[in-house]
Chain A
Amino acid sequence: QQQVKQSPQSLIVQKGGISIINCAYENTAFDYFPWYQQFPGKGPALLIAIRPDVSEKKEGRFTISFNKSAKQFSLHIMDSQPGDSATYFCAATNRDDKIIFGKGTRLHILP
C-alpha cells in the first residue's frame, strides 16, 4: 500500500519530442504528489508537484496529469531538450508521513 510504481525505468527521446513518465499508487491517503529531478552528481531537486483536487498542473514545459480514480499520475515534458537528461522520481505522501519515492526513470534526450 505504501508503494509508488514508476515506469519506464529508462527512456530515450529525440530532441523536441514529448517525454512521458508514469506513476501509480495504492494508498488513497496520499494527498501530495511531487516530482523530483536529479542530475548526475547532484541531489534530487523538486521540479513540480500536484494535489489531487486538480487534474493537471503546468509549469513551463513540464505538466503533471493526475487521475484520482485510477490512482495514476504522469509527468509530461514538452519540447524535450538535452538539458532535461536526468533521473526523474515521482513521489507521494500525506502531511503526516514521509515521502514515498518511485524507483526513478533515467531520461536521455538525443541531440
Chain B
Amino acid sequence: DTAVSQTPKYLVTQMGNDKSIKCEQNLGHDTMYWYKQDSKKFLKIMFSYNNKELIINETVPNRFSPKSPDKAHLNLHINSLELGDSAVYFCASSQGRQIDYTFGSGTRLTVV
C-alpha cells in the first residue's frame, strides 16, 4: 500500500561504520531522489536518478554513493560515517520532470 517506503526507519551506528538505506516506490515513477534534512528542518537535495541514470549530484562527500538497480529502487550507501552525517534522510519520487514529489517517511540516522 505504501507509495514510497524506506528501510530502516531508524539507524544508530558508530563513527567509521558503513551503512545503507534502501528506498522503493510502487507509483510507477521514473525519477527518484535522496534528500537530507538537518536538525533545523532544512531540506537539501543530494542525488536524483531518472531511469537508473544519475541526473543530479549535489556537493556531497564521496563517502555517499547512491545506487539504482531499477527505476523503482534507489539505495544510499554511506562509508566511514561521521557525526555530521546524523540527520533524517528522505527518499522521494516523481514522474519524469513532473514536479510533484512523493516523499517516504524518512530514515533517522544517528552517528555516535
Residues of A near any B CB (own CB < 8 A): 32, 34, 36, 38, 41-46, 49, 87, 89, 93, 95-96, 98-99, 101, 103-104, 106
Contact = CB atoms under 8 A, between A and B. Distances in A.
B112 interface: no
B100 interface: yes
B106 A42 contact: yes
Contacts, number: 49
A111 to B, nearest CB: 23
B83 interface: no
Interface residues of B, number: 20
22 contacts: A32-B99, A38-B41, A41-B105, A43-B90, A43-B92, A43-B105, A43-B106, A44-B43, A44-B90, A45-B102, A46-B100, A46-B102, A89-B43, A93-B99, A95-B99, A98-B45, A98-B48, A98-B56, A99-B101, A103-B42, A104-B40, A104-B42
B56 A44 contact: no
B104 interface: yes
Contacts of B106: 41-43
Contact of A43 (B42, B48, B56, B104): B104
A104 B43 contact: yes
A13 to B, nearest CB: 18
B103 interface: yes
Given A96-B97, A98-B56, A44 B45 contact: no
Interface in B1-43: 4, 33, 40-43
A101 B105 CA distance: 18
B99 A99 contact: yes
A95 B56 CA distance: 14
Interface in B31-72: 33, 40-43, 45, 48, 56
